[in-house]
Structure formats: structure tokens, C-alpha cells
A = this chain, B = another copy of it.
């Protein structure tokens, strides 16, 4: 694995080809559209990406963005109305296959359920769109500074699953530092090069003892209206204080905070949930 292995965040500017009604979330449809696009070029990779039982999938899918206000979970779109989707790819093969499909000259159309969208543009260059960019595992680690404060903006509903009960799945919807950063740590350790692995035990101990919330702003729950069942998550901003002066732990948590832009946080990050970014990166 090359030291420069890239990770990508790319934005598709979309326009419906006719009057369409889409679910305000479109999480499953966008997920399916992403895998279908890969499948057209590389069925083996696509199968791998939706193999069951994988704890960290190397991609994320945003909700459909730029829509108006939904009515009963649905949005009407006219042909001219531009909207966008963001995907991230934590493996360069995924990005390459996805782009190959749209560079191949075939009609650049993306289907979200019954609705067809013209892909007007795909933006990956940093600065070309607030949610576009690329980096590499090494760059994320190298660029981290041991900042004692980390502010995250939870831009789409974020939640953590805590196992099944007789009454259903236990879901936590608070930006508690432990699940937030241990979700990022799990994704990092599952996907980053071996030389960059973080030692889970000491970092969890630091998280539990020495990380506090210093500020919360505009925190609230929102529902995602999936076809099968609604799903609750929280959005808003949280600033974490990395209180104990431990440069190693602070560097790791700052690395993970920057990684959040690519990895997302919590459950169902491949279906629109857990879109998160560090606030200093967003400003």
C-alpha cells in the first residue's frame, strides 16, 4: 500500500430529468445508486462493498441535498432544480471505478428509486464545493496538531446502536465523546495502513477520563424517513475539550476529527446518516 494512498470526498451535482417526487432522505436509493454505478464497471468490487457482516464499509453516502422543505417526508423537484449528493471513498479503487463509469461516455444518469437525475458535474477538488476534497491517511496523521479543543458539526442525523432488546434496537442520540470518537477509531483502525494504527486501549481510557463537552450549539434530533422505518439521529455542534495534556492522545483525536469528513460517525453512514465535519475545516 502506497504511502500516498488517497481518500476522496466527491460531490455529484444533479438535475432531475423530469418532474419527480423523491423521499426527503433518499438514503437507501442513494446507497443503491452508488453500488449500482460501481457494479457497472466492476461487479466484483460492488459485491465486496455490500457483503454482509463487514464492520466498516470503505465509503459513505450523504442524504440528497439542496432540496426544498419536505412535505410528509417527500420533496417535489422540477427539471431545472439542482441538488447534490456526496460520496466518500476510503479506498482509491472505489473512486477510480466510480469515476470511470462517468468518464466512459455513457449517459451520465443516476437513478434514485424511480427518479432519474442528470449528473451535471462531479467535484472532487478541494474548494470546488464545501463537501469536496481528498487527502491520504498519512496526510491526515501528519497534519494533525495537538489542539486541546475539537469542534464537530453533525450535519446529518447521527446515532449509535447499542444492541437489540425485546422492545427493539437501543439507539443513542447524544454526542457523547466516547461513542463519537470510538466510532472514528474503529473505522480508522479497520482501514488505515498498519503503520498508522492507533492503540485502542489507551485512547479509550483517555476518552473516558479526560474528554468533556465544552460547548453545544443547536443540538436537536431529526428523523430520517427510511422506507421501512423512521430513524432518529442528532444534528448540531459539539466542542470537545481534550483536557489532560497528553500530546499523543490529542494528536490522535485531532487526526480522527479530520478523518470524520471522510468516514462519517456512527451507524448507517452509507445511507445518509452521520455526515460530520470538524468546524475549523468548515469555516
Contact at B209–A174, with CB atoms within 8 Å? no
Contact at B172–A213, with CB atoms within 8 Å? yes
Contact at B244–A174, with CB atoms within 8 Å? no
A198 within 8 A of B: no
* Distance A220 CA – B215 CA, assembled complex (angstroms): 7
1/0 per residue, CB under 8 A from B, across A146-173: the answer is: 0000000000000000000111101111
A232 interface neighbour in B167, B168, B174, B214, Cβ under 8 Å: B214
* Distance A236 CA – B234 CA, assembled complex (angstroms): 14
The closest CB in chain B to the CB of A211 belongs to B170
Contact at A212–B171, with CB atoms within 8 Å? yes
A63 within 8 A of B: no
1/0 per residue, CB under 8 A from B, across A189-220: the answer is: 00000000000000000000110111111111
1/0 per residue, CB under 8 A from B, across A228-248: the answer is: 000010101000000111000
The closest CB in chain B to the CB of A175 belongs to B174
A39 within 8 A of B: no
* Distance A148 CA – B203 CA, assembled complex (angstroms): 37
Contact at A216–B173, with CB atoms within 8 Å? yes
A176 within 8 A of B: yes
Contact at B173–A213, with CB atoms within 8 Å? yes
A74 within 8 A of B: no
- Known contacts A209-B165, A221-B213; decide if A174 and B173 are in contact (CB<8 Å): no
Q: What is the minimal beta-carbon distance from A220 to any residue of chain B, in angstroms?
A: 5
* Distance A218 CA – B234 CA, assembled complex (angstroms): 11
Q: List A103-138 residues whose CB lies under 8 Å from chain B.
A: none
Q: Which residues of chain B come closer than 8 Å to A165, judged between CB atoms? A: 209-210, 243-244
* Distance A254 CA – B216 CA, assembled complex (angstroms): 27
Q: Which residues of chain B come closer than 8 Å to A174, judged between CB atoms? A: 174-176, 213, 216
Q: Which residues of chain B come closer than 8 Å to A170, judged between CB atoms? A: 209-210, 212, 243
- Known contacts A165-B243, A175-B174; decide if A236 and B212 are in contact (CB<8 Å): no
Q: Which residues of chain B come closer than 8 Å to A245, judged between CB atoms? A: 167
Contact at A220–B221, with CB atoms within 8 Å? no
* Distance A244 CA – B214 CA, assembled complex (angstroms): 33
Q: Which 4 A-B pairs have the closest CB atoms?
A: A219-B219, A167-B243, A216-B221, A174-B174
Further 11 A-B residue pairs, CB within 8 A, beyond A170-B212, A174-B216: A165-B209, A165-B210, A172-B212, A172-B213, A173-B212, A174-B174, A214-B232, A215-B232, A216-B220, A216-B234, A219-B220
